[in-house]
Amino acid sequence: MNGTDKPTYEVLPNHHSDPFRDHVVRAYEDSPNDWQKVLGEELHFQWGVFGHPHAPRPVSLDEAGLWHLERQLALASGDGTGHTTPRRILDVGCGWGATLRHLARVFPDCPRLDGMNISAEQLTHCADRLRDVPRPDRVHLYLCDAADIAELPAPEQPYDLVLARGVITHLPPQVYETAAAALARRMRPGSLLVVSETLYSEEFLAREPTPPTDADHLALGHRKSLRYVTDVLRASGFRIRDDRVLPCGEDAARWVLELKGNIDVHFPEEASPPLEAIRHMAADLAVALLRQEASVHSIVAERGPA
């Protein structure tokens, strides 16, 4: 990606065989225009925080998604005001670019920001959205599987800040474990990993059957518990600095029900399989969130000594 040509992305080598990867790609192959009708113009697709001291009413999904991201960045920086500018940032599973675009604006002096994703459809939209950020030549996009993080260029320049928001849920356990270990090797000691993930209680996982792949149109079948996710991070060399439910169950339930409402309005008869999956799962997921059988966790992990 450069400052004169149309932004694009680089395809990195794939060294791992993972049938589920194609399933994830299919979940995001629909037009971003359809997703915007459901998620909002900015396409934040990792929950939302609706409570804000200066919130206008009604609060949009774009605002709620941005406030969630800003809250996580504040937690990573301590008080949210005095953080040092990172020298290199990675957004794992950068999606349509909402998080990476915000990072490029929040850190205008960061010399390099990388985004990686497995969906070419999303990366194309992401590249277009990044054309108006300060110095877009700083931003590099890669079509890359999570298991192939080691293939990201310039390993001599370790990452200071990594975000993985809504990514781990798509990864089979072996891929997640491989990715976490590879990511730790690419991060500077003392650097931070910021995770946002939908996790489930051990009781829920024991009770609820895993959906069959052909019915799992959002590629969410590899559900995980908080203990498993954090145990893998610790085994990979991370120290958990902060772990909390964010957004709260009420906000998370409101978010998923607003998505359903938008699908009902814009696609009253039939939507694409991923959007239909949201429509059909929204009510049950909202109940699970309110019962604390499911929760959205914000995790800030620090890379330990090499």
What pLDDT score was predicted for residue 37? Answer: 98
- pLDDT tens digit sequence for 151-197: 999 999 999 999 999 999 999 999 999 999 999 999 999 999 999 99
Q: Mean of the pLDDT values across residues 6-30? A: 86
Confidence of residue 25 (pLDDT cuts 50, 70, 90): very high
The residues, ordered by sequence, that sit 6+ positions from 11 with a Cβ below 8 Å of its Cβ are 142, 143, 144
Q: Can you tell me the mean pLDDT for 18-23?
A: 87
pLDDT band with cut points at 50, 70 and 90 for residue 16: confident
pLDDT higher than threshold 50 for residue 81: no
Q: How confident is the model at residue 3 (pLDDT cuts 50, 70, 90)?
A: very low
Bridge-based pairing of strands 159-165 and 10-11 is unpaired
Q: At what angle do helices 120-129 and 98-106 cross, to 10 degrees?
A: 30
Residue 247 reports pLDDT greater than 90: yes
**Using an 8 Å Cβ cutoff, are 127 and 116 in contact?**
no
Q: Is 43's pLDDT higher than 70? A: yes
Task: Give the model's pLDDT for residue 293.
Answer: 97
User: What is the predicted pLDDT for the residue at 2?
Assistant: 44
| Bridge partners, 281 (sequence order) | none
Per domain, the residue ranges of the chain are 10-303
Query: pTM to 2 decimals?
Result: 0.94
What is the structure's pLDDT at 55?
A: 67
The span from the CA of 257 to the CA of 296, in Å, is 15
Residue 56, pLDDT score: 66
pLDDT tens digits, one per residue of 201-239: 999 999 988 888 888 999 999 999 999 999 999 999 999
Sheet holding 294-303, edge to edge: 10-11, 139-143, 112-117, 88-92, 159-165, 187-200, 294-303, 238-245
CATH homologous superfamily of 10-303? Vaccinia Virus protein VP39 (3.40.50.150)
- Decide if pLDDT at 4 tops 80: no
Q: How confident is the model at residue 96 (pLDDT cuts 50, 70, 90)?
A: very high
Half-sphere exposure of 300 (CA within 13 A, CB side): 18
Share of the chain above pLDDT 90, in %: 86
3-state secondary structure of 96: coil
Residues shown for the chain: 306
List 197's β-bridge partners, or say none.
297
| Neighbouring C-beta atoms of residue 286, cutoff 10 Å | 20
Q: What is the pLDDT of residue 203?
A: 96
Q: What pLDDT does residue 213 have?
A: 85
Position 18 scores a pLDDT of 79
Average pLDDT over residues 55-60: 78
